[in-house]
């Protein structure tokens, strides 16, 4: 059974169809890269899975049940950076601020909170950062701490919206390796949006590609092909590979957000 099972999902925002008739069968423990040009609906899809924006059509089951009930088991790291005031918090306080533990008594509550924070930070290899102010961290450390915050409550699905933005290749690899470890060691399901496909190639199990109000899911080899993407975009698209790097050209131009980073990603895990 898919852990996210969407049929004919349709999303409209501001009177415009963002995507329609989307079939989404995401297997448990999979690492899914979510791609598409600017405005294709990647963020909207994650927010719709979380129930933050409504779907106008289709049926959605999450964790084999009602999506509304399952949402407490989804961790989410949004695209937006923490607010300035949050930057002054210690890493432990920032992670703990999202905790939804039971409040059965002050001492019990504090112990459970500390345990939840420590465990979440250990899972992202950031326990040693607990007392540091958030604003003192590097971009890569901050992304790992934001993932810890998304994991401080029991989560079986993790949605990461462009977590690689503004990270150097080494920090990108650390975030990708962390996501992969969560899928392999904890059977967590991870959806990660990104603009550059190349860094994800060694890590992801499936590709979900959104374009032109439609979406297709498959393996890298099945989906990232000239015929498949041409059909999805509704216009000629060329997928080519050079030195292990994929580039995608739509019509007469490269998709800048995919092609212009390619030279940055020589490092392999």
Site of interaction with ligand ATP (CB under 6 A): 13-14, 18, 36, 38-44
Residue with tokens 């998304």: 150
Residue 224 CB neighbours (<10 A): 19
Chain length of the chain: 269
6 vs 36, beta carbon nearer ligand ATP: 36
φ and ψ at residue 82, rounded to 5 degrees:
-55, 150
38 vs 170, beta carbon nearer ligand ATP: 38
Please name the residue ranges forming H helices in the chain. Answer: 42-49, 67-70, 84-87, 91-96, 106-123, 139-151, 169-186, 220-223, 226-233, 256-259
14 vs 227, beta carbon nearer ligand ATP: 14
Write down the least CB distance from residue 160 to ligand ATP, Å: 13
Q: In what order do the strands lie in the sheet with 16-26?
A: 16-26, 4-13, 57-62, 65-66
Write down the least CB distance from residue 255 to ligand ATP, Å: 11
Distance of alpha carbon 164 from alpha carbon 162, whole angstroms: 5
Write down the least CB distance from residue 40 to ligand ATP, Å: 4
18 vs 178, beta carbon nearer ligand ATP: 18
Write down the least CB distance from residue 166 to ligand ATP, Å: 14
Exposure string over 85-118, b if 16+ CB within 10 A, otherwise e? eeeebebbebbbebbebeeeeeeeeeeebeebbb
48 vs 124, beta carbon nearer ligand ATP: 48
54 vs 251, beta carbon nearer ligand ATP: 54
39 vs 266, beta carbon nearer ligand ATP: 39
Write down the least CB distance from residue 243 to ligand ATP, Å: 26
Distance of alpha carbon 232 from alpha carbon 225, whole angstroms: 11
Write down the least CB distance from residue 15 to ligand ATP, Å: 8
Cα–Cα distance list, 196 to 162, 250, 256 (Å) = 10, 15, 9
Write down the least CB distance from residue 162 to ligand ATP, Å: 7
Residue with tokens 């049926």: 59
The overall longest dimension of the chain from CA atoms, in Å, is 64
CB-count burial class (<10 Å; 0-12, 13-18, 19+) for 120: buried
């Amino acid at each position: 059974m898919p852990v996210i099972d969407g049929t004919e999902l349709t999303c409209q925002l501001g009177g415009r169809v963002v995507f329609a008739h989307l079939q989404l069968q995401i297997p448990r423990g999979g690492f899914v890269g979510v791609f598409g040009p600017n405005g294709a609906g990647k963020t909207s899809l994650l927010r719709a899975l979380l129930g933050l924006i409504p779907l106008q059509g289709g049926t959605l089951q999450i964790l084999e049940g009602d999506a509304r009930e399952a949402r407490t088991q989804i961790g989410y790291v949004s695209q937006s950076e923490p607010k300035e005031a949050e930057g002054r918090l210690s890493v432990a306080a920032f992670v703990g601020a999202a905790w939804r533990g039971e409040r059965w008594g002050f001492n019990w509550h504090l112990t459970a909170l500390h345990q939840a924070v420590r465990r979440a930070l250990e899972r992202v290899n950031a326990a040693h950062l607990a007392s540091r102010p958030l604003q003192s961290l590097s971009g890569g450390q901050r992304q790992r701490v934001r993932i810890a915050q998304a994991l401080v409550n029991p989560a079986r699905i993790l949605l990461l919206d462009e977590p690689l933005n503004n990270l150097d290749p080494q920090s990108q690899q650390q975030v990708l390796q962390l996501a992969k470890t969560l899928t392999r060691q904890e059977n967590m399901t991870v959806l990660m949006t990104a603009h550059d496909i190349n860094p994800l190639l060694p890590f992801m199990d499936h590709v979900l590609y959104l374009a032109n109000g439609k979406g297709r899911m498959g393996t890298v080899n099945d989906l990232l092909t000239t015929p498949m993407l041409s059909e999805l975009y509704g216009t000629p698209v060329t997928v080519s590979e050079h030195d292990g790097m994929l580039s995608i050209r739509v019509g007469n131009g490269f998709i800048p957000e995919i092609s212009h980073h390619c030279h940055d990603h020589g490092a392999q895990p």
